Structure 1
Amino acid sequence: MSPTLCRPALWFPENTINLEETLNLCRKLHGGHEKLQAVLRMIENTGVKKRHIVQPIDATLLHPGVEARTEIYQRETRRNLPGVVDEALRSADVHKDDIDAIVYVSCTGFTMPPMTTWMINELGFRSDVRQIPMAQLGCAAGGAAVNRAHDFCLAYPDANVLIVTSEFCSLCYQPTDSDVGMLLSNGLFGDAIAAAVVRGKGGTGMALSWNSAYLVPNTEEWISYRVKDTGYHFQLDRRVPRTMSMIAPTLRQFANQQEWDVSSLDFYVIHAGGPRILDDLSDLLGVPTEAFRHSRSVLSDYGNIASAVVLAVLQRFFDDGSVTNGGRGMVAGFGPGITAEIALGTWRAPAGREEGNGTTGEAHRGPEQVASLSPALIAR
C-alpha cells in the first residue's frame, strides 16, 4: 500500500476583515498613492471576500517590533496548534505515540529551536520523533510538506508523519511599504493553522503515488523577503500571475510519465495564490473551471493562507464527498523560486464504501504497484 494523506484539520483566528473593510483601509492609509485606483481594482479582483487575522485590525496595523511580533507568533501558535493536531490525529485514527516524524512549515514566524521541539516536549510526542522544519518555501511549502512526508514513509514503510503549518501572514504587515505588490498583498493574505497525517499503512484519503518538484529558472526574485531592521518585507513581482504558462507544461509532463491525462483527473488540490493563477491553469491544462471550485472557495473565504492552502482545499474534498474510491488527483503548491511541488495519487475511501467512478484502466499504475518502485523513480 502507498502512504495515505488523511483528512486535514484547520483553525482560523476569530478576528476577520472583509473586502469592503480592506478597500476602505487602503483608501484611508494610501489616499495619496498615485496608483490607488489600480490597487483597489486588483484587490477587488482577487476574489477574497473575507480573511481571518490573528490580532484585531487596529493591532495588526501597528508595528511593535520584530521581538514583539515573534512573541505573538509563538504565543498564538502554541495556544491554538494543539487542538488542530489532536483533530488531525483523530481523523487519521492514530495517536501521538504513533507519529514518527513531524514536518512543521511556516514562512511567517521564526524560532530556534523549531516549533517541533516544543511540540515534542509539551504535547506528548516521543523523544525520538524526527524533526523536519521548513521555513523558506513560502506557499509552496504546503505541497513540499506533503511530498517530504511521502518520501519519509517510502523510506520507512511503517511510519506515520504529522504535517503542521502555522501561517500568520498579518504579522508581516509593514506600514512603511507602499509599492503596488505590497499593497496588493495586504488585501490578499490571511492567517491559519492546519495539520494532517500521512500514514505509511492504512488510513483513508489521498493515497500518494508519485511526487515531483520544478523550479522555474531565473525567477528567484519574483517572490521574496527583503530582510530589514523591521523584519520581513514581502516582495511580489508583477510577472508572478503569469507563471502558470511556465509551470503547466511540467504538470502535464509529470502526469504523462505516469500515463495519466492531467486534463481529466477526478480532483485537483491547487494552491489558490490568486484567481489569475487558477484561471490560467484551467485554460492551459484544459480543465473545467468547476474542477478548481474548492481552491476558489478557500481563496474567497480565507484569502491566501500560504502553506495551509492545499490542506484547506483538500479538507473540502473530504467534506463534500465528491471523489469516489479510486479517483485520480493532483496536489500542486506554488511559491518562491518560482517553485512548484506536485503530488499525484488516488482516493482511498473508507472500507465498505461502494466503488465509485474514479478513472481507472490497465495503463494506470496503482498504489499496490507503486510500492515496488524505487524512491528515485517515484520522486522523479
Structure 2
Amino acid sequence: MKVYIAKITKVLPPSYNLDYISEKIYPKELTGEKITKLAKKFAKNMHIKQKPTAIDLNSIPEVKLKRKEDHPKEWGKKVVKELSEKIGIENIGFLSVAYNVTYNKDFLPNLASQIVMETGLKTDVPPEELAYYGCAAGIISLKNAVDFCKKYNKAAISFTFDQCSNIASFIYDPKDPLFKEAIKSNLLFSDGGVGILLIPESMKDRFDYPLIELIDFKIAHVPGNTIRMEKGVFVLENNLKKEIPPIVSEKVIKPILNERNISISDIKEWALHQGGPTLLEEFKKPEVLGLSEKQLSVAYDMFSIYGNMSAPSCLLVLDKYFSNKENKSGTRGMIVGFGAGYYIASALYKWE
C-alpha cells in the first residue's frame, strides 16, 4: 500500500531580527558594552535574518513563555484541527509527537495524550511521544505514521516541534568556559513546529493536488558527543561539521540510493536539516555527497529565515517544496535529519 503526504502545516511564534534578539539577551546595561558587541558580532556571522522565538524577551534573564498560544499543547491542537479539516477527524487513527525541548511542564499524562483528549481524536493505537531523538526525530515520527497507515488503512498525523529557547543559558561571565557556547546556542536555535498529514492510497482521491509518496526510510544511530548538553548549556563542538556529514551520507543516504539504483543527480529536492551554512557546505564535497548549490539552496534559504529549529528543521525545508504545487510528477526528493546522539535518518519520496 502506498502512503502519501497530503498536507503540511507550520506553527510559529513571533519572529524577530537576530540583531534585535542579541541586544535583548545581552543588553549593555546588564552585560557591558564589550559583551553586547560580541553578541552582535556572533549574530552577524550566523547569516540568520529572522528567528522565531517563544521566549519573553523582556523577561530575560528569566526564561518564560511569552504567549499562552505558544504552549506546545496549543500548537498540537491547532495542527490536529488544520490537518483534519479535509478528511474528518474520525478518519485519523494515530498521532505521533516528536521534540527535544518543550515548555510543557505538566508531562503526565504525556503531551500526545493531552492533545488527543482535547481534540477528540479517536486513535486506533496509543498516541506516541518521541523525546530527545535529536534532529532526526521528525523523520522517525514520519516512519511510524507511515507504518500505521499501511497496517490500518487510515490517516495519521506526525507533529514535530522544538522550543529551544526554553534552554537559553544566560552566561555573562567571559571567564566561564561555556560563555561563547551559550552565546552561540542562544542565537542559533529557534522555536516552531511542523504538522504532517499522512494518508493511505485509499484516501488519495480526496485531494485534488499533487501529493508526495513516501517510498523508503533509513534510520541509524552512531554514538557521538560533539552535540550535547553540558551543565545546562547546549554545546556544538567545532569539529561536528566535519564529523557528521560523512556519517549521514554513508549510513542513511547512499544506502537508499544504492538499493533503489538511483544517482545523487536524480534527487532534485533535498530537504536537509539546515544546521547552519558551514555544515551544509560539507555536503558539497565530492567525498561526502557532491551536492550542488542549487540542490542546497532551499535549505540555505530556510536557515536564513528560521535559524536552526532542531527536530522540525528538515520538515520546514520539505514544507517549502510542498507549498510549490506545480506539476512535479516523478520528481524525487530526500528528507534528511541528523543530530545529538548521533541519531540520523532519511526518507526517500516521489511526487505523483
Q: TM-score, normalised on structure 2?
A: 0.84
| Residue in 1 that maps onto 2:207 | none
Q: Say if 2:206 is the partner of 1:205.
A: no
Answering whether residue 300 of structure 2 is matched by residue 301 of structure 1, we say no
Matches within 5 A, 1:232-251: 232-242=232-242, 243-250=244-251, 251=253
Q: Report 1:34-53 matches (<5 A).
A: 37=38, 42-53=42-53
1:17 matched to which residue of 2? 16
Q: In the alignment, is residue 174 of structure 1 matched against residue 191 of structure 2?
A: no
83, 90, 96: which one pairs with 1:103?
96
Residues 150, 174 of structure 1: alpha-carbon distance in 2 compared, 3 angstrom cutoff: same
Paired amino acid for 2:142: V
* Contact kept? 1:10, 1:193, Cα under 8 Å: yes
Q: 2:82 aligns with which of 83, 87, 95?
A: 87
Q: Does 1:165 align with 2:160?
A: yes
Any idea what the Cα deviations from partners look like across 1:72-115, whole Å, max 9, x if unmatched?
8897223343223222234xx32211111111012112523211
The whole-number CA distance in structure 2 between the counterparts of 1:224 and 1:278 is: 20
In structure 1, give the amino acid aligned to 2:84: L
Q: Distance in 1 between matches of 2:44 and 2:181?
A: 14
Q: Deviations over 1:108-165 (max 9, x none)?
A: 12523211111221111015442110001122212221122223334x1513210112
Q: Which moved more, 1:337-346 or 1:141-150?
A: 141-150
SS of 1:210 mapped into structure 2: strand
Equivalent of 1:112, from 100, 108, 122? 108
Contact 2:51 2:307 in 1 (8 A): yes
Deviations 1:53-79 (A, max 9, x none): 113312254146xxxx7x988972233
Query: Once the two structures are superposed, what CA deviation does each residue of 1:258-298 show, in whole Å capped at 9, x if it has no partner?
Result: 11112331211111111112111133322221222222222
Q: What are structure 2's unaligned runs of at least 5 residues?
A: 173-177, 205-209
CA 296–30 in structure 1, closer or farther in 2 if over 3 Å, else same: farther
TM-score, normalised to structure 1, is 0.78
Q: 1:323 to 1:307 in 2, by over 3 A?
A: farther
Listed as ranges, the gaps of 5+ residues in structure 1 are 349-380
C-alpha contact 1:7 1:315 (8 A) present in aligned 2: no
Q: Secondary structure at the match of 2:316?
A: helix
Number of equivalences:
332
Equivalent residues in 2 for 1:1-380 (5 A)?
Answer: 1-14=1-14, 16-24=15-23, 25-26=25-26, 28=28, 37=38, 42-63=42-63, 76-90=71-85, 93-109=86-102, 111-126=107-122, 128-154=124-150, 156=151, 158-176=153-171, 178-201=178-201, 202-203=203-204, 204-216=210-222, 218-219=223-224, 221-226=225-230, 232-242=232-242, 243-250=244-251, 251-283=253-285, 284-321=288-325, 324-348=328-352
